[in-house]
Chains A and B, each alone.
Chain A
Amino acid sequence: MSSPNRAAAALAIAAAGLLVGGVALAIFWAPEDVDQGFSQKIFFIHVPVALTAYAFFGFGAWKALRLLSTRNSRYDLESYTAVHMGVIFGLLTLVTGSIWAKTSWGQWWSWGERQLVLFLIVFLFYSAYFMLRYSTDPGPRRERNSAVFALFGVALIPVSFLAVRIAGTILHPTVFTHDDGVAMPWEMFLAFCICLGGVLALAATFYRVELAGKRIDESLKELREQLA
């Protein structure tokens, strides 16, 4: 039991170091963006959080695939925990993205901001995952339905990406682009990578803690049934 805990502790320490260092570098060392000025600093927290959410959704789908191929219930809990964490980071992405939209062009929400619109679709989809889970009785059926739904998510992400991209050309003319085609100074990129590493380490810590908590819940339930 000590080795998983030690890994979680190491991850937490790494997260603390990388996040403090990365944020300090991002704010004080990386050059200010030519177009957006200081408000571009939100990039260093918003984008790593968004990428972490995607990583969680991908990881959850991978565990879902393992569940479907092995029928081992432990993957159900792992997939569920990953999606759970992904939704939390997704909510954070929407909030920080909204703040960025406000400071960049004075509105809390812009349908022209493709990445944010895509994220909203994905977020709605994974919120439905929770509804599916909570309204199905526990058992192999719920495990498999959740797994199939989680797998649909990784197909929905690129399909929606494409949809939002082609829709952007017609339905909502894009005025602001800061996500593509801009060469980043290397200092900015380095600070970004450190922040990304920090957020990922923090996310991995949360995942381990949450998974341990959910496993303890299950063990306790079983113990209670044994003793009753």
Chain B
Amino acid sequence: MTSAEKYVLAAYLVFLAAVLAYLVIIALKVGRLEQELGDLVRLARERRDG
């Protein structure tokens, strides 16, 4: 592999890494949203029952 090929590969990998990093961010966010929504559902149930 020539050095030019290495740098080209690196540039494309940076792009791929950014896409994957965004996936991680969104995964964390979905997890947090799920938890918050669960809290709110529980709160709403308590309201209705109590």
A interface residues, Cβ below 8 angstroms from B: 23, 27, 37-39, 41-42, 45-46, 49, 88, 92, 95-96, 99-100, 102-103, 202, 206, 209, 213, 216-217, 220, 223-224, 227
Asked if A99 and B11 make an inter-chain contact with CB atoms under 8 angstroms apart, the answer reads yes
Asked if A206 and B4 make an inter-chain contact with CB atoms under 8 angstroms apart, the answer reads no
How many residues of B are in contact with the other chain, CB < 8 A?
23
B interface residues, Cβ below 8 angstroms from A: 2-5, 7-8, 10-12, 14-15, 18-19, 22, 26, 29, 33, 36-37, 40, 43-44, 47
The closest CB in chain A to the CB of B46 belongs to A227
Q: Is the interface of A mostly helix, strand, loop or mixed?
A: helix
Q: Give the A-B pair count, Cβ closer than 8 A.
A: 58
Asked if B7 and A102 make an inter-chain contact with CB atoms under 8 angstroms apart, the answer reads yes
Taking a contact as CB atoms closer than 8 A, the residue among A37, A96, A206, A223 that contacts B11 in the complex is A96
A residues within 8 A CB of B4?
37-39, 103
Taking a contact as CB atoms closer than 8 A, the residue among B8, B26, B29, B44 that contacts A227 in the complex is B44
Minimum distance in angstroms from A191 CB to a CB of chain B:
14
The closest CB in chain A to the CB of B47 belongs to A227
Contact A38 B5, CB 8 Å, known A206-B22, A213-B29, A220-B40: yes
| Given A103-B3, A220-B37, 17 extra CB contacts under 8 A | A39-B8, A42-B8, A45-B11, A45-B15, A46-B11, A49-B15, A88-B18, A92-B18, A96-B11, A99-B10, A103-B4, A216-B33, A220-B40, A223-B40, A224-B40, A227-B43, A227-B44
